[in-house]
Structure 1
Amino acid sequence: MVIVSSCTLLLGEDKHANLAAAFQDLQSKRVDLSSRHYKDVTFLLAYAAAETSFQWFFLPQLAEQAPITLGPLLDMATELGRYELLRTCIQAYRLLFVMKVNLADLPTRLAPYVILDRGDGRSLEWTKEGICKKIPDFQSYLKQQCTTLEAIEKAYQASNEAAQAARSKGQQPCLIGSIHPPRLLKQGYKVITSPQGFPPMVLSEEDLHAIALASCEAARILHTKGLVHRDLRFANIIELARRQYVVIDLESVAEVSSAALPGNFEQVLKTCTQSTLDPQRHYTEASDMYSIGILLEGLCSNTTQPSEALQRFIIQLKSKKLSAAAAVQYLGTSWENSGQDVMQP
């Protein structure tokens, strides 16, 4: 395997005797190539080898497309075969260099099987199954975050149910889900999340509209279950494809409670301010909507002058008078076409 800028460019399978088995294993590793990651690179290089046989392949962009045999089957038992292998390896690495310079510039993406340390022992690891998140000393984490494992489990269950409903309509999920329910192990908390995405690009008001819709729909899903996200910020949004966004990090979720948050909570949850909470220091559904308003307001600097409709929408979010359901209904028509303030249902 050859990985450049966290993108796999070459795959290989070696078997002791069975070339067909090597080819099948190669096929099992294939996934569609994201144009956001691979940009103008529309194929991978690959090889299958067994005993003295060696075969190069092109793997097309879509995993469902058949591999393309590249050149003849090489017999390394012969002098000519060994010469051809050396010659084609040189050509392959020249091609890899060309592929490298055509990759998208995404320095923050995770490399496969590399553990990203988030501090305090928390870690993320990209695996074939999904993103594996681990938090040690989870009981202390729960106490510090003023939440419970039950609330987090409830959030993932709600997300998975919503994702299933979305996919049945041919739509992408807007809230991170889990491959398996979160687990509390001896080493701490562990969950494998899906789908996998990458840091989003925000270049236009259309991008902002898509982020707003995903954020408000994610909030609506949680609020329907009596939950609040409490950490709706740009760092907790990933992009699946152009203008398809997903809200992540359900470990910040908590039940809506009448209990006042402790005085140091703003230091624990950096996105939380006195303005986010109500006068009694409660974090409510309206607090989530306020956070989305702050998120959109901060992103406006990445676009052209925001439209009046967008500015009105942000003001209403920050006023804490707009529910997630009303915001989703409004955004379904796009604020450009509405021309009026959002009305609560």
Structure 2
Amino acid sequence: MKKEEQLREKELLLMQSGQNNTALVEDRSEEWIKHMLIPGLTTLPQHDYDLANALFPEKHGKLPVTRRMYHERLMQKPNVTKSFLIEADDSAVPTLLTTALWVSFGPEVSEMDVSGLVGFFLRYIFVLYRSYSPYKFTYQFFFNCNETTAGSRSSSSKKRSRPDTLLTASGCTFLIGEDKLSSLSDAEADLTEKVRPLSTMFYGELQFILGYIAAGSAFQWLSIGKSGVVTRVGPTFDLSTDVDRCQYLLSIGYAYQLIKKMIDSVPKVRGRHAMFTEDIVGDRTLCFFPDRVKKSVKNFDSFCREMMTGLDVILRAYKARERCPSLPQLMGKKSDNYISRTGTYTVQISPLGHAPILRSEQSIRTMAKNVCEALSVLMRQASFTGMSDSLMLCRYHRSSSC
């Protein structure tokens, strides 16, 4: 928590720094940020080669910084300055980028430090683009430092099924990342285990989402292909060096613009949930994974009394699903031990989906037949209370972006 608080204090100081300086000058941030946009981006890349060219264009943009920093760096490192920086005024974007390039971080001695370093720059550049670029969209960042304990300085971490970093928008996950202390290969191996092919229902014809791996001060962009294949894209950055940090900051802005294009490309589906996220209502929690949905209910006895149902009725609904491929199927446990010693009920269900576009009469008939079969099975259940659990699970699994 102390590390997280320090990062938030830095972010606050950066934003205050920009506000204080720009209060005295005309803010030309919308003009300056144009130097950081992808030149000529009209369509989404279709292949890894095209994606690399989009994230690292030959004619790359430049980072506008204050005149003072530009001339100081010009004296110290003229080649880097001329290649990646442009002299600007004290508007918000140049001021904040100047401060970001000056920010120093201590040595990474834990996985939490790596997550903090990468997360700081991701959040920071995304805020600048959302505030001042013509590309605006609503998103959520989720950062999760997988330390063994909250205060641990160890390099080891619990093996979890969710990546360390998520960016979600429009009910889809468009960016995932994995952080390690010292090994990019370990981060890539962990991330590869967690991804699955992109669902056509939710991602349409989208060919990839973005990913990254980080270890120490090293950072590498990834492509998560439609089939779930993970591929490294572009160079590996050392964020402790000036030239790599400049390239990294520019590439984050390019990633922001690519994600905006992805959002515009995915089908409009109401009520979907992004991969690796949770939906919590009271004692009930639904966790959405690429290949399943995990449902847990705390105080299950109280839940049953409130819903006028019971485990035996719910199990009959699960049993009925086995005869109907149009209903989500129970995964994992084959025994009747669904309730833990603490009284929490937990099950995992396979997701269902359908093509976002019905291209023929036969497709329409098939979907209508599946819906009728599912409703028929549910209606034959002896108790409406048992059916309610089936309907609720079915609804959430059809709306999950797995």
* Pairwise TM-score range, normalised by the shorter structure: 0.5 to 0.7
From 182, 198, 204, give the equivalent of 1:33: 198
Report the Cα distance in structure 1 between the residues aligned to 2:390 and 2:187, rounded to whole angstroms.
45
Equivalent residues in 2 for 1:93-242, closer than 5 Å: 93-111=256-274, 112-117=276-281, 121=282, 123-128=284-289, 129-134=292-297, 136=299, 138=301, 141-142=304-305, 145=308, 147-160=309-322, 162=323, 173-179=325-331, 180=333, 181=336, 183-185=338-340, 188=343, 190-197=345-352, 207=364, 210-216=367-373, 219-220=376-377, 230=387, 237-238=394-395
With over 3 angstroms needed to count, the CA separation of the structure-2 counterparts of 1:136 and 1:59, relative to structure 1, is same
- In the other structure, the counterpart of 2:227 is 62
What percent identity do the matched residue pairs reach? 21
1:23 aligns with 2:23: no
With over 3 angstroms needed to count, the CA separation of the structure-2 counterparts of 1:78 and 1:238, relative to structure 1, is same
Does the 8 Å contact 1:202/1:208 carry over to 2? no
- In the other structure, the counterpart of 1:289 is none
Amino acid at match of 1:30: V
Report the Cα distance in structure 1 between the residues aligned to 2:371 and 2:194, rounded to whole angstroms.
31
Does the 8 Å contact 2:304/2:310 carry over to 1? no
- In the other structure, the counterpart of 1:334 is none
Q: Give a deviation string over 1:170-214, Cα, whole Å, max 9, x none.
A: xxx222333335634576552323122469989779536534444
SS in 2 for 1:28: helix
1:101 deviation in Å? Answer: 1.8
1:37 deviation in Å? Answer: 0.9
From 163, 169, 176, give the equivalent of 1:4: 169
1:139 deviation in Å? Answer: 5.6
Report the Cα distance in structure 2 between the residues aligned to 1:109 and 1:10, rounded to whole angstroms.
17
Does the 8 Å contact 1:19/1:48 carry over to 2? yes
SS in 2 for 1:183: coil
From 205, 208, 216, give the equivalent of 1:51: 216
Q: Give a deviation string over 1:248-284, Cα, whole Å, max 9, x none.
A: xxxxxxxxxxxxxxxxxxxxxxxxxxxxxxxxxxxxx
Does the 8 Å contact 2:214/2:220 carry over to 1? yes
- Structure 2 gaps of 5+ residues are 1-165
Report the Cα distance in structure 1 between the residues aligned to 2:352 and 2:178, rounded to whole angstroms.
27
1:115 deviation in Å? Answer: 2.5
Structure whose residues are more often strand by fraction: 1
Matched pairs, number: 225
Does the 8 Å contact 1:15/1:51 carry over to 2? yes
With over 3 angstroms needed to count, the CA separation of the structure-2 counterparts of 1:104 and 1:134, relative to structure 1, is same
Report the Cα distance in structure 1 between the residues aligned to 2:285 and 2:351, rounded to whole angstroms.
12
Does the 8 Å contact 1:199/1:238 carry over to 2? no
Amino acid at match of 1:216: E
Report the Cα distance in structure 2 between the residues aligned to 1:201 and 1:232, rounded to whole angstroms.
26
With over 3 angstroms needed to count, the CA separation of the structure-2 counterparts of 1:212 and 1:80, relative to structure 1, is same
- Structure 1 gaps of 5+ residues are 164-172, 247-345
With over 3 angstroms needed to count, the CA separation of the structure-2 counterparts of 1:211 and 1:17, relative to structure 1, is same
TM-score, scaled to structure 1: 0.53
Report the Cα distance in structure 1 between the residues aligned to 2:389 and 2:355, rounded to whole angstroms.
14
TM-score, scaled to structure 2: 0.46
SS in 2 for 1:86: helix
1:73 aligns with 2:236: yes
With over 3 angstroms needed to count, the CA separation of the structure-2 counterparts of 1:26 and 1:76, relative to structure 1, is same
Equivalent residues in 2 for 1:255-334, closer than 5 Å: none
Structure whose residues are more often helix by fraction: 2
SS in 2 for 1:83: helix
Equivalent residues in 2 for 1:79-94, closer than 5 Å: 79-94=242-257
1:141 deviation in Å? Answer: 3.0
1:42 aligns with 2:207: yes
Amino acid at match of 1:76: L
1:17 deviation in Å? Answer: 0.8
Does the 8 Å contact 1:58/1:68 carry over to 2? yes
